[in-house]
DNA sequence: TCTATATACATAGAATTACAAAGTATAACG
DNA sequence: CGTTATACTTTGTAATTCTATGTATATAGA
């Protein structure tokens, strides 16, 4: 299982990345993340939905209730222009942090 | 500047990585991180010291006041066996999260 | 000599955030 | 017709973060 802090740090970039590939809804996003991580990352609904609300409030994503003749109502989310910008920023920040970690970890002093 | 959550997620693995290369003390660790990140990551002392205390409480690191004839007292930290194990776990978790992010980000649908 | 800055560590408490738990409702399956 | 899966919401507490404040000494510069 992935640590709490690392999960927290990756939630928004993961959601943005998923939504960039096409609109989706909360329940499906949870399943998608579980699948992509091989079960290592599992969000409860109580964890994910408030994040979606926050992201919508911040203008990163937009929602609409599906009118399509689906079996049940679903709240579909789409990424906004602002959300795409946020995603780029996230990607850049992850690259920077990974660079720092690699600098420290790389001289794999695994001599022992 | 790196986001709050990403900073939080990387603090412990960075400290563990630095200490694996040799013992160090709080003030120096702060400067080291700032240097390695090109100023992108800056910890205040009030942010870092409590983390060190927590890590020591958890048995990941051990401290001792320097008796060496230094200009002023410094609390040197060393990584423990438990800390090295924690570092390995962190590295594995970062790899897993990066894998998920790459899966989502890679099909860089930058067609537009 | 005096002052400002850098070094070095510590912690209380306010502010923020996370998230488990509980709630609502319907569809599908056996 | 009961159980499980689907689908979304929110409250309140628990945990965490980090700002602000405090202590103390060394050093550089004016």
- Per residue in B12-32, pLDDT (tens digit) is 999 999 999 999 999 999 999
Residue spans of the domains in chain A: they are: 4-105
How far apart are the C-alpha atoms of B66 and B77, rounded to whole Å?
10
Q: Is the pLDDT of residue B51 over 50?
A: yes
Of B12, B93, B100, the CB nearest to A14: B100
Q: Which CATH number describes the domain made up of A4-105? A: 1.10.10.10
**What is the bridge-based pairing of β-strands B61-65 and B24-25?**
unpaired
Percentage of chain B beyond pLDDT 90 is: 75
Residues in chain B, total: 112
- pLDDT band at A1; cut points 50, 70, 90: confident
DSSP assignment letter at B71: S
pLDDT value for B112: 39
- pLDDT band at A107; cut points 50, 70, 90: low
Q: What is the mean pLDDT of residues B44-71?
A: 89
How far apart are the C-alpha atoms of A105 and B81, rounded to whole Å?
17
Rounded, the Å distance between the CA of B18 and C1' of C1 is 41
Chain B residues whose CB is inside 8 A of the A95 CB are none
Q: pLDDT digits over B30-43, tens only? A: 999 999 999 899 89
CA distance A71 to chain B (A): 28
Mutation site, B28, B55, B94, interface A, largest A CB count within 10 A: B94
Q: Is the pLDDT of residue A101 over 70?
A: yes
Chain A residues whose CB is inside 8 A of the B41 CB are 97, 100
pLDDT value for A43: 92
How far apart are the C-alpha atoms of A100 and A86, rounded to whole Å?
21
CB pairs under 8 A between A and B: 90
Buried b (16+ CB within 10 A) or exposed e, B18-44: bbbeebbbbeebbebbeebbeebbebe
pLDDT value for A111: 45
- pLDDT band at B72; cut points 50, 70, 90: confident
Rounded, the Å distance between the CA of B72 and C1' of C3 is 21
Rounded, the Å distance between the CA of A66 and C1' of C9 is 57
- pLDDT band at A70; cut points 50, 70, 90: confident
DSSP assignment letter at B21: T
Q: What is the mean pLDDT of residues B51-77?
A: 89
Q: What is the mean pLDDT of residues B65-74?
A: 80
| Local structure of B107: helix, strand or coil | coil
């Amino acid at each position: 299982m992935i640590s709490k802090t690392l999960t927290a740090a990756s939630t928004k970039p993961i959601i943005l990345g998923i939504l960039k590939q096409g609109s989706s809804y909360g329940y499906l996003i949870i399943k998608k993340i579980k699948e992509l991580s091989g079960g290592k990352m599992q969000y409860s609904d109580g964890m994910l939905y408030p994040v979606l609300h926050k992201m919508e409030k911040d203008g990163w994503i937009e929602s609409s209730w599906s009118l399509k003749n689906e079996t049940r109502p679903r709240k579909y989310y789409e990424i906004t222009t602002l959300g795409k910008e946020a995603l780029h920023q996230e990607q850049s920040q992850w690259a920077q942090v990974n660079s720092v970690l690699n600098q420290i970890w790389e001289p794999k002093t695994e001599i022992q």
